[in-house]
Structure 1
């Protein structure tokens, strides 16, 4: 429920400014109204907070701005640099920030706190749907990464093997990986499986390959032995730190880059867990898996997103002209 201080308009009423200290509560109400991962919620909180800070600096009332103000904000974002990398914000990042604001204002419109969404008429940057900034991996590089993981020793080696196997064989998002719990593991019709909540709050289930199941079982057996309990007694997060806390996404990022460096992969410093997700899509399509099956496995709502992940989609070896020619040659006998 929204607190009384949040404005709701009657027809003809003036639009009041957001109350001091109230925008955070309002943003939380908006986020609770959407099915989002915690990572996406955090990003959207930062996006709205950045906009409100910009409005405050320019002495603008967020409830009285128009598309020209949003355009000015967008142009400033395009000239800004990311705090972590020091590089200019990409068009995709700017578009995502404006998309978050648009959703925020749509929520305000539904509550009649504003008459119209000022972002809807703004000039958003063009994002090439056929391009992704994620650095990909070849199948041979994935093999090398897995080999480096297998060669690891030490107290975290078994956990790391399970984490990388889940990323490589299932193409999970890093947020999906770190959110897994022990109780998400199961079996269905002879398949080892894992259930989780994917992007958009959608329940998902995937099959574990034999090698991934082996890596997960070995890790859980080692963890149970260390705790002096039976494996079925384990509970909580699937992947944990030495202190028993849930492994976080930043640790997985560092793990992938460290292993890639050990494996001798040239672009190791630019890799991320998402690189393994791209490799999953590319390899699946190259091996003849239908686009719709890859789309379902990755949890994409739009097949165009799946195609963008397929780094080999423009390879002339896959030109359908060859298939047509071969069929004609067979007919001619």
Structure 2
């Protein structure tokens, strides 16, 4: 397998081929994560002297212990790596490479993230961040605004090009975005955001929108550094990172009255459960559904 370089002793070439076909279904960051997960697992199989396609559930239970004890992975990381293997083996069964899925009845670690575990910003904190970014440069302002106002992922924001903007038949300014898995979406560009992006564009007619000081396109690592510096200048929490702004955007959308389906469309999530995970209300009891239930039944009593 081209992406996994563990030595071939116990595993078969069929396992390598199965891994290549599995990874070929994904792109970008997802493929990078899955490649790392399979590499770790294949290397562990080598140490155990077992072919990955001859694995049994008991082997996977031992692999889970290896991840927890030897590699020191937390519940969230262990669960994600095992979920990668679950998807890999389901495809292997579908492709008739194996006859039985060894991940059936495999126990996954429980991971229930609390709101306090996920960094995000409220509307006033986002406002402070936007003001700080505007004072830094038009490029800083545009990057932060794309993530806050459109909920773009950091890589999506960095990859925005001037040519990606257009005008639809009704006169709306729209932005074509290519997201995870190569999925494209057309998003409206509200006037406040458009003004910010026009400043970042300047007189240019094409090319990347968000440029570094050396004139090159900003990348993921540089965006993380920018957000860290801006948060420090704005006296915001130190644990804020670009993806925190996506959580903040989804929360703002729902808090402003959008229902879950609208928020899901905004975030471009395939699963509404992921949108719920992104919603960080922070214990706002004023909008708790208990008020609705009490009002409905009290009026009928």
User: CA separation in 1, counterparts of 2:149 and 2:296?
Assistant: 33
Instruction: Choose which of 244, 257, 260 in structure 2 pairs with 1:288.
Output: 257
Aligned twin of 2:5: none
Work out whether 1:308 is the aligned partner of 2:289: no
User: CA separation in 2, counterparts of 1:259 and 1:78?
Assistant: 36
User: CA separation in 1, counterparts of 2:102 and 2:217?
Assistant: 40
Contact kept? 1:66, 1:118, Cα under 8 Å: yes
User: CA separation in 2, counterparts of 1:309 and 1:115?
Assistant: 38
Segments of structure 2 that go 5 or more residues without pairing to the other structure are 3-9
Contact kept? 2:173, 2:188, Cα under 8 Å: yes
Aligned twin of 1:210: 191
Aligned twin of 1:271: 240
Higher helix share: 2
How far apart are residue 200 of structure 1 and its match?
3.9
Work out whether 1:251 is the aligned partner of 2:222: yes
Instruction: Choose which of 138, 152, 156 in structure 2 pairs with 1:176.
Output: 156
Measured against aligned partners, the alpha-carbon deviations of 1:259-309 in whole angstroms (never above 9, x if no partner) come to: 0011001x22x2111111111111222221222111110012222221222
Aligned twin of 1:220: 201
Q: TM-score, normalised by structure 1?
A: 0.78
Identify if the C-alpha distance between structure 1 residues 241 and 71 changes in structure 2 by more than 3 Å, giving closer, same or farther.
Answer: same
Identify if the C-alpha distance between structure 1 residues 62 and 325 changes in structure 2 by more than 3 Å, giving closer, same or farther.
Answer: closer
Contact kept? 2:154, 2:242, Cα under 8 Å: yes
How far apart are residue 80 of structure 1 and its match?
5.1
Matches within 5 A, 1:310-329: 310-312=279-281, 314-325=283-294
Aligned twin of 2:144: 164
Aligned residues: 293
Aligned twin of 1:49: 39
Once the two structures are overlaid, the 10-residue window that deviates more, 320-329 or 291-300, is 320-329
Contact kept? 2:162, 2:209, Cα under 8 Å: yes
Measured against aligned partners, the alpha-carbon deviations of 1:233-282 in whole angstroms (never above 9, x if no partner) come to: x23x33344555442211111111110011001x22x2111111111111
How far apart are residue 174 of structure 1 and its match?
1.5
User: CA separation in 1, counterparts of 2:116 and 2:38?
Assistant: 25
Moved over 6 A (4+): 327-332
Work out whether 1:66 is the aligned partner of 2:63: no
Identify if the C-alpha distance between structure 1 residues 58 and 206 changes in structure 2 by more than 3 Å, giving closer, same or farther.
Answer: same
Q: TM-score, normalised by structure 2?
A: 0.86
